[in-house]
Amino acid sequence: MESFRGDVRLVIQTDDVFETLRSLRQEFDFDMLIDVTAIDLLEYPDATDRFAVVYSLLSIERNERLIVKTFVNDPDPTLPSAVSIWAGANWLEREVFDMFGISFEGHPDLRRILMPEEFVAHPLRKDYPLQGRGERHNFPVIPRSES
Amino acid sequence: MPLQVSDLSQPESPDQEYLWTLNFGPQHPATHTTLRLTLTLDGETVVNAVPDIGYLHSGFEKLGEDLTFNQYVTIVDRMNYISPVANEISWFQAVEKLLAVDITPRCTYVRTIFAELMRVHDHLLNVATVALDLGGFTGFLYAFNLRERINDICERASGQRFHSSYFRVGGALFDVTPDWVDMIRAFLAEFPKVHAEVHGLLTRNRIFVDRVKGVGTLSREDAIAFGATGPIARASGVVRDLRKDEPYLAYRELDFRVICARAGDCYARYLVRMEEMLESVKLIEQAIENIPAGPINVGLEVDPDDGRSTLPNKADVYRSIEGLIRHFEVIMPNRGYPTPIGEVYGASEAPNGELGFYIVGDGKAKPYRVRTRPPSFIHFSMFPHMIRGATLSDVVAVLGSLNIIAAELDR
| Interface check B371 vs A, CB under 8 A | yes
Nearest to A4 among B9, B246, B343 (CB): B343
Residues linked to residue A7 through DSSP beta bridges, in sequence order: A4
Looking at beta carbons, which residues of chain B come within 8 Å of A60?
224, 238, 240
CA-closest candidate to residue B203, choices B287, B106, B114, B136: B136
Q: 4-23 in B: which are within 8 Å (CB) of A?
A: 7, 9
pLDDT value at residue B117: 92
| A143 lies within 8 A of chain B by CB | no
Give the chain B residue whose CA is nearest to the CA of A130: B62
Q: Tell me whether residue B71 is exposed, middle or buried, using C-beta atoms within 10 angstroms of its C-beta: 0 to 12, 13 to 18, 19 or more.
A: middle
Q: Is A12 on the interface with B (CB under 8 A)?
A: no
Inspect the interface and report whether the beta carbons of A123 and B65 lie closer than 8 Å. no
Q: How many inter-chain contacts (A to B, CB under 8 Å) are there?
A: 107
Cα–Cα distance, B84 to B402 (Å, whole number)? 18
Position B300 scores a pLDDT of 47
Q: How far is A114 from chain B (nearest CA, A)?
A: 4
- Quote the pLDDT of residue B181: 92
B245 vs chain A: nearest CA distance in angstroms? 7
Cβ contact B362–A44 (<8 Å): yes
The stretches of B55-104 forming alpha helices (DSSP H) are 60-64, 73-77, 84-99
Q: Min CA distance, A83 vs chain B (Å)?
A: 10
Residue type, B224: I
Give B369's contacts in chain A (Cβ within 8 Å). Answer: 39-40, 124
Q: Which of residues 75-104 of A touch B (CB under 8 A)?
A: 86-88, 90-92, 95, 99
Task: Quickly state the pLDDT bin for B337 (edges 50, 70, 90).
Answer: low
| Phi, psi dihedrals of residue B5, rounded to the nearest 5° | -60, -35
CB contact under 8 A, B378 and A44: no
Query: Residue A45: which of B344, B362, B411 has the nearest Cβ?
Result: B362
B64 reaches A (C-beta below 8 A): no
Is the pLDDT assigned to residue B309 strictly greater than 60? no
Chain A residue with minimal CA distance to B375? Answer: A34
Q: What is the pLDDT of residue A48?
A: 86
Q: Do A4 and B344 touch (CB under 8 A)?
A: yes
Is B410 at the interface with chain A, CB within 8 A? yes
Residues of B whose CB is below 8 A from A37: 358, 371
User: So what's the pLDDT on residue B114?
Assistant: 92
Angstrom distance (rounded) from CA B40 to CA B7: 12
Put simply, the answer to whether B57 touches A63 (Cβ < 8 Å) is no
CB-CB: which of B54, B65, B358 is closest to A37?
A: B358
pLDDT digits (tens, 9 = 90+) for A87-112: 889 999 999 998 898 999 888 888 88
CA distance A136 to chain B (A): 14
**pTM of structure:** 0.87
Mean pLDDT of chain B: 84
Structure ipTM over 0.90, yes or no: no
Interface residue A125 vs chain B (CB under 8 A): no
Closest CA to A61 of A35, A84, A83, A28: A28
If pLDDT is split at 50, 70 and 90, which confidence band does B48 have?
Answer: confident
Q: How far apart are CA A96 and CA A9, in angstroms?
A: 20
**Bridge-partner residues for A24, per DSSP?**
none
Q: Do B100 and A5 touch (CB under 8 A)?
A: yes
**Which of A5, A37, A60 is facing B97, going by the closest CB pair?**
A5
Average pLDDT over residues B289-297: 83
* pLDDT band, very low/low/confident/very high, at A139 (cuts 50, 70, 90): low
What is d(CA B123, CA B198) in angstroms, rounded to the nearest whole number? 12
- Percent of chain B at pLDDT > 70 equals 90
A144–chain B nearest CA distance, Å: 30
B158-181 residue pLDDT tens: 888 888 888 888 788 888 889 999
The full length of chain B comes to: 411
Buried b (16+ CB within 10 A) or exposed e, A93-106: bbbbbbbbbbbbee
Tens-digit pLDDT profile for residues B123-133: 999 988 888 88
pLDDT tens figures, B215-263? 888 899 889 999 899 899 999 988 888 888 888 888 988 899 999 998 8
pLDDT recorded at residue A135:
61
Residue B407 has pLDDT above 50, yes or no: yes
Spacing of C-alpha B161 from chain mean position? 17
The closest of A125, A117, A70 to A96, measured between CA atoms, is A125
Q: Which chain A residues contact residue B57 at CB under 8 A?
A: 114-115
Tens digits of residue pLDDT in B90-132: 999 898 888 877 888 888 999 999 999 999 999 999 988 888 8
Asked if B368 and B190 touch (Cβ cutoff 8 Å), the reply is no
Residue B173, CA distances (Å) to A53, B105, B159, B164, B314 in order? 36, 16, 10, 10, 9
Please determine, for residue B296, whether its predicted confidence score (pLDDT) is greater than 70: yes
Pairing of strands B171-172, B341-350: unpaired
Nearest CA to CA, how far is B172 from chain A (Å)? 23
Structure confidence by residue, pLDDT tens digits, B72-91:
889 998 888 888 899 999 99
